[in-house]
Amino acid sequence: MPIIPQQRVYDVCVVGSGAGGGMAVYALTQAGADVVLLEAGGPWDNATDSAMLTWPYDSPRRGGSTRERPFGEFDACVGGWSIDGEPYTRAAGTRFDWWRARMVGGRTNHWGRISLRFGPYDFRRKSIDGLGDDWPISYDDLKPYYDRVDRLVGIFGSAENLPNEPDGIFLPPPRPRCYELLVKQAADRLGITCIPSRLSILTRAHNNRPACHYCGQCNRGCRTHSNFSSTNVLIAPALETGRLSLITNAMAREITTNRAGHATGVTYVDKTAGVDRHVRARVVVLAASALESARLLLNSTSPRFPHGLANASGVVGRYITDTTGTDVAGFIPALQGNVPHNEDGVGGMHLYMPWWLDNRTLDFPRGYHIEVWGGRGVPSAGFMGGIHRYPPGGGYGTALKDQYRRLYGTTVGFSGRGEMIPNDDSYCEIDPDAVDRWGIPVLRFHWKWTDHEHRQVKHMQETFRALIAEMGGQVFDPMPGPDRGFGIASGGSIIHELGGVRMGADPTSAVLNAWCQAHDVKNLFVADGGPFVTQADKNPTWTILALAWRTADRITELRRRGDL
Ligand SMILES: Cc1cc2nc3c(=O)[nH]c(=O)nc-3n(C[C@H](O)[C@H](O)[C@H](O)COP(=O)(O)OP(=O)(O)OC[C@H]3O[C@@H](n4cnc5c(N)ncnc54)[C@H](O)[C@@H]3O)c2cc1C
Ligand code: SF4
């Protein structure tokens, strides 16, 4: 297909408008750069597009999921595990699921807003236990940017002074709900650290955004912008500078280069017009999500870069990880027949449990944190997961309605979210036999959990069962055995995929330097989860935001010095 060129040369072209891309365009436009942002999906504005206040009975589906909204029809995020015309493949024997957003703001339109800093140990794990690799930067390098993200975006939490769970600049946390108080008591008795959660939701008015009104529907997008989405908190102010050109429905195909080996811009499919276009820029920043950024590099081949751009090391697509995860839920008799009350709160947990143990006493490295769920959320299709699972549940007519009233809100669940160690058998590459609807070669995944992850997940299962027992509850499902990997979720399914474009001081084993700048192409940067060297036992997005801001500042500094 002929490519339609554009004459204008932007200072920077950013690909992808999620957490990383949003932060990059925010910081770059504030610093005076002319930026073009290519986004594969369509526009979205929570103020007008969110279904925040829609009742389930307003829809015949009662909130059930659709193909492009797997988390329910009112969910804010357009995307899913499979997207029409955009396949990916898996090597034989691989279980891997890839969740992709296709809209302005990416996955920040839905995410759980659990906003955790990586701790000092997380950047130097190899030095501590000999596994994986250390980051080329330390917590102290990133701390000023975590602070800036806290101040700009807003986050609630509590100062706890724990060794590897750095405190931030917090707004006050909401009080625990009724069932969370029971969780806290059980955790205290079992010696498990249990503290207020840390979510990027405003409990006080902040930076011209009003405080949360506790509707509990964050995943639907917040009409008042009281939680964080890239669209409303980062891209909107970037557009207000007049220095950002946002091009939606623009699917990047490859990064172009000149004879000197510098990036010159990006070729993209204009999905609306059905033509290929080329945008020119002095600097290119990839933020299309970790694995898509790896795909873009691998697809940008040329005589000078036959194995893909910035891939002299052969490491693009390697060292990919996802959070380990498993869930256990149970029926808590003490919660039945509770006085009906409103416990909506923020759209997420009010408590969580950071990693609390010492690996020297355990048979697996690294750790996990525990997320808590339950309570009386707005009932929608499939709520309570089927009443027959509750010991006294079932029946017909009035008896059944009474059962629902009595048992509603008696489920408590725990989700483990832990650290996977990168391994040689988990990577992605270009599938030579498959292309998407635009003829762009697609990724093929290879994935393997090791004994480290299986043992960790077994420990999660045992801990969650002990917590439910301590609350006087009954677990719904039996403990999964080794034949089922102790209930470990498939690779990718926790939707925290990272790496593939990792940073490191050594250009033979890393794609990017300590500034997320390609070792091989000096005007090419990556600002999503691709640069991560390790997963940590934390959700990644607060670190993506901090790292992207640091990368944008570096670009500004290099441009000021005339080095880009
Ligand atoms: C259900 C769910 C819950 C989550 N909860 C949490 C949580 O509580 N805490 C946490 O830290 N993280 C959470 N996450 C993960 C979090 O959403 C991601 O870590 C974060 O959004 C990643 O940011 P990103 O910029 O790398 O990618 P994304 O947010 O995915 O943005 C990438 C953007 O690039 C666009 N794009 C992709 N390919 C191309 C292309 N070729 N050309 C142009 N544009 C392209 C996409 O359309 C998308 O808009 C959750 C995710 C999901 C789905
Ligand atoms: S719970 Fe608060 S932040 Fe979340 S959608 Fe409702 S008002 Fe907005």
Q: What DSSP assignment string belongs to 38-95?
A: E-SSB---HHHH--TT--GGGSTTTT--BTTBTT-TT-S--EESSBTTB--EE-TT--
H or E element, residue 142:
helix 139-153
Q: Compute CA distances 57 → 54, 346, 538, whole Å.
A: 8, 22, 36
Ligand that lies nearest to the alpha carbon of residue 226, given by its number in the listed order: 2
The two three-digit tokens of residue 449, written as one number: 């959990």
Ligand that lies nearest to the alpha carbon of residue 222, given by its number in the listed order: 2
Query: In angstroms, rounded to a whole number, what is the distance separating the alpha carbons of residues 520 and 349?
Result: 43
Q: Locate the ligand 1 atom nearest the alpha carbon of residue 22 and give its number.
A: 25
H or E element, residue 246:
strand 244-247
Parallel, antiparallel, or unpaired for β 275-286 and 524-526? parallel
137 and 514 Cβ atoms separated by less than 8 Å? yes
What pLDDT was estimated at residue 2? Answer: 78
Ligand 2 probe mutation, 156, 220, 224, 343, most atoms within 8 A of CB: 224
What pLDDT was estimated at residue 393? Answer: 67
DSSP letter at 528 equals: S
Q: Which residue has the tokens 């890239």?
A: 230
304 and 261 Cβ atoms separated by less than 8 Å? yes
Q: Which residue has the tokens 């669209």?
A: 231
Of 434, 100, 473, which Cα lies nearest the Cα of 299?
Answer: 434
Distance 413 CA to ligand 2 centre (A): 22
Ligand that lies nearest to the alpha carbon of residue 69, given by its number in the listed order: 1
DSSP letter at 538 equals: S
Ligand that lies nearest to the alpha carbon of residue 47, given by its number in the listed order: 2
Q: Provide residues with CB under 6 Å of ligand 2.
A: 52, 201, 212-218, 222, 224, 226-227, 346-347
Angle of helix 178-190 relative to helix 451-470, nearest 10 degrees, comes to 110
> Radius of gyration over alpha carbons of the chain, in Å?
23
Across the chain, which has 564 residues, the per-10-residue mean pLDDT values are 86 98 98 98 94 90 88 91 96 96 96 97 97 98 98 98 97 97 98 98 98 95 97 97 98 97 98 96 98 98 96 98 98 90 92 96 97 89 81 81 89 97 98 98 98 98 98 96 96 98 98 98 98 98 98 98 94
Query: In angstroms, rounded to a whole number, what is the distance separating the alpha carbons of residues 117 and 125?
Result: 15
The two three-digit tokens of residue 8, written as one number: 């204008």
Q: Provide residues with CB under 6 Å of ligand 1.
A: 15-21, 38-41, 71, 99, 101-103, 106-108, 110-114, 250-252, 287-290, 292, 495-496, 528-529, 539-541, 544
Query: In angstroms, rounded to a whole number, what is the distance separating the alpha carbons of residues 531 and 170?
Result: 27
Q: Which residue has the tokens 């010159």?
A: 264
Query: In angstroms, rounded to a whole number, what is the distance separating the alpha carbons of residues 48 and 201?
Result: 19
Q: Which amino acid is at 196?
A: P
What pLDDT was estimated at residue 395? Answer: 81
Q: Locate the ligand 2 atom nearest the alpha carbon of residue 225 and give its number.
A: 8
What pLDDT was estimated at residue 249? Answer: 98
Q: Locate the ligand 1 atom nearest the alpha carbon of residue 538 and give its number.
A: 11
421 and 448 Cβ atoms separated by less than 8 Å? no
DSSP letter at 484 equals: G
Residue ID of nearest Cα to ligand 2 atom 2? 212
What pLDDT was estimated at residue 103? Answer: 97
